């Protein structure tokens, strides 16, 4: 252990904090500069050759492009297709026609549908889309954004069809199934209470729960339980999607039974205050057509998953393994060409888009627009993954882990989620946080005799919590409700919930192994 090398290894991370939080530099520029800084330190202070640094960076960039960026672009492409065909307007109308009680609509749209969007696309859509819908229905913008940020704190690990968790598995070499099971376990409690807190945020206190305790608890359980079961026994790709579908169905059914009861004026939507109910009426066929791309994604992902080995196994063999890093400890990087979520989502989106009336030329135009509109994100993620690989292969991550172990010892699990929170605050991404700190968590766990999958799961939980206070996430939320410039107001209001969740996460991470709940 060398404290000087520890400080040098921290420089790229410190730079990211200063560049993003203090200098407010665009993420892609900050990450590219961090990559350059990390490469120089790896060569000058950690003895890596230029060839080793270059191939480590290339390994990280290629790992970013396939499958991580692939699935992000595919998910955003799906959403953009529904915008182009008008299906998203029908989806919004269906959701908003169920109830005139803002608290119930928050559960359906922000908790249910928002978690669905996180599972499908992630990348801020789970905050921006629900917030814009709710404000359009007459909700107070600032509490709405804060509530959406709180809700989005736990589905992050299984967002974008499980990319943060599968990325963590790829970065650390851990079993994706074991990691997913531990993530599902460590998130349960905070996941269950987050919609309750969100309703209280919307209603400015515990008084807001009066009359909706039952539906709130049932709605919370209707997402949390399926999410846990799928994450525990199936994998990281579908927990949010399955949980949100069950949650929306259960919450809508309960909401329909509650229709006709008096709604307090403070929690009424614009439609009720104006004496106008939601009038959108769709046939079953039209409703199915509107949801078709998402239905197809769900069906295709299920039937190509390990649940159906007769399909899953042959498709998974269509892959290539290539060794890119040329230094010590190199391992092949595997590219799965068909049975990878990004490819499957593209297939579902194309079929669904055509069924909704989109032409081939329209699909092509939307694809180009999706890629070009997200080039900064592509650069950011490639840079972060390249930096992470350089730090891992050069020993920089190991040096940070060694000092943290020496400083905290067996108490490290108490701060394990906090490290993920810091990562998400810096990067705004659960995936990037997995890459940035995943191997640090693994190495630290091995050094103190803890379960690596458990501490990596704690990193995933912390990353979701950190997105509450991420400048990028807050900016997405305020922009969605036309309040750009109010970021500092939102940050002040959401910070206390972030702190609460970080403390709870640390306690959970420390206590659960003591009572034998960790999954090996």
CA nearest neighbour of 502 among 434, 422, 410:
422
Tally the domains of the chain. Answer: 1
Q: Is residue 496 part of a domain?
A: no
Q: Is residue 322 part of a domain?
A: yes
Q: Is residue 145 part of a domain?
A: yes
Contact predicate 145/493, CB 8 Å: no
Q: Is residue 502 part of a domain?
A: no
Q: So what's the pLDDT on residue 274?
A: 46
Q: Is residue 44 part of a domain?
A: no
- Taking phi over 0 as left and psi of -120 to 50 as alpha, with beta for the rest, 470 belongs to beta
Q: Tell me the C-alpha distance between 187 and 278, whole Å.
A: 36
Structural domain range at position 138: 52-269+278-393
Q: So what's the pLDDT on residue 39?
A: 97
Q: Is residue 92 part of a domain?
A: yes
Q: So what's the pLDDT on residue 46?
A: 96
Contact predicate 255/99, CB 8 Å: yes
Using CB atoms within 10 A of its CB, is residue 414 exposed (0-12), middle (13-18) or buried (19+)?
middle
Q: So what's the pLDDT on residue 275?
A: 46
Q: Is residue 455 part of a domain?
A: no
Angle at which helices 3-17 and 27-44 cross, to 10° = 160
Regions of the chain short of the pLDDT cut 70: 1, 270-281, 306
Q: Is residue 418 part of a domain?
A: no
CA nearest neighbour of 151 among 220, 95, 249:
220
Q: So what's the pLDDT on residue 270?
A: 55
Q: So what's the pLDDT on residue 1?
A: 66
Q: So what's the pLDDT on residue 220?
A: 98
């Amino acid at each position: 252990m060398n404290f000087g090398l520890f400080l040098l290894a921290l420089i790229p991370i410190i730079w990211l904090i200063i560049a993003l939080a203090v200098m407010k530099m665009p993420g892609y520029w900050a990450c590219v500069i961090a990559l350059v800084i990390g490469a120089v330190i790896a060569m000058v202070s950690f003895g890596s050759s230029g060839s080793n640094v270059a191939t480590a960076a290339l390994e990280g960039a290629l790992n970013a492009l396939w499958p991580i960026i692939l699935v992000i672009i595919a998910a955003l492409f799906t959403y953009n297709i529904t915008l182009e065909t008008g299906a998203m307007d029908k989806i919004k109308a269906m959701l908003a026609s169920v109830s005139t009680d803002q608290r119930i609509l928050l559960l359906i749209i922000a908790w249910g549908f928002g978690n669905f969007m996180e599972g499908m696309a992630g990348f801020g859509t789970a905050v921006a889309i629900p917030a814009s819908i709710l404000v359009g229905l007459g909700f107070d913008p600032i509490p709405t954004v804060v509530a959406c940020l709180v809700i989005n704190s736990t589905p992050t690990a299984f967002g974008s069809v499980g990319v943060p968790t599968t990325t963590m598995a790829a970065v650390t070499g851990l079993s994706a199934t074991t990691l997913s099971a531990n993530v599902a376990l460590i998130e349960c409690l905070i996941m269950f209470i987050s919609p309750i807190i969100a309703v209280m945020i919307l209603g400015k206190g515990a008084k807001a729960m009066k009359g909706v305790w039952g539906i709130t608890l049932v709605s919370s359980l209707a997402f949390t339980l399926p999410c846990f079961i799928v994450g525990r026994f199936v994998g990281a790709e579908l927990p949010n999607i399955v949980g949100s579908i069950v949650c929306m169905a259960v919450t809508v059914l309960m909401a329909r039974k509650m229709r006709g009861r008096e709604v307090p004026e403070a929690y009424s939507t614009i439609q009720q205050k104006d004496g106008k109910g939601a009038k959108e009426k769709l046939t079953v066929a039209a409703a199915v057509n509107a949801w078709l791309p998402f239905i197809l994604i769900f069906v295709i992902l299920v039937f190509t998953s390990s649940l159906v080995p007769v399909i899953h196994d042959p498709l998974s063999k269509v892959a290539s393994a290539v060794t890119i890093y040329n230094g010590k400890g190199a391992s092949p990087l595997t590219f799965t060409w068909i049975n990878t979520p990004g490819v499957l989502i593209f297939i579902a989106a194309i079929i669904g888009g055509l069924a909704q009336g989109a032409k081939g030329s329209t699909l092509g135009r939307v694809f180009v627009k999706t890629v070009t509109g997200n080039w900064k994100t592509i650069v950011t993620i490639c840079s972060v993954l390249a930096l992470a690989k350089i730090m891992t292969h050069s020993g920089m991550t190991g040096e940070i882990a060694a000092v943290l172990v020496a400083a905290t010892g067996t108490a490290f699990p108490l701060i394990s989620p906090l490290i993920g929170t810091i990562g998400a605050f810096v990067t705004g991404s659960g995936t990037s946080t997995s890459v940035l700190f995943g191997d640090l968590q693994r190495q630290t766990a091995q050094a103190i005799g803890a379960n690596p999958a458990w501490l990596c799961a704690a990193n995933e939980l912390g990353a979701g919590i950190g997105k509450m206070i991420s400048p990028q996430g807050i900016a997405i939320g305020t922009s969605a409700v036309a309040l750009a410039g109010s970021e500092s107001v939102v940050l002040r209001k959401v910070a206390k919930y972030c702190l609460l969740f970080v403390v709870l996460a640390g306690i959970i991470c420390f206590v659960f192994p003591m009572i034998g709940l960790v999954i090996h």
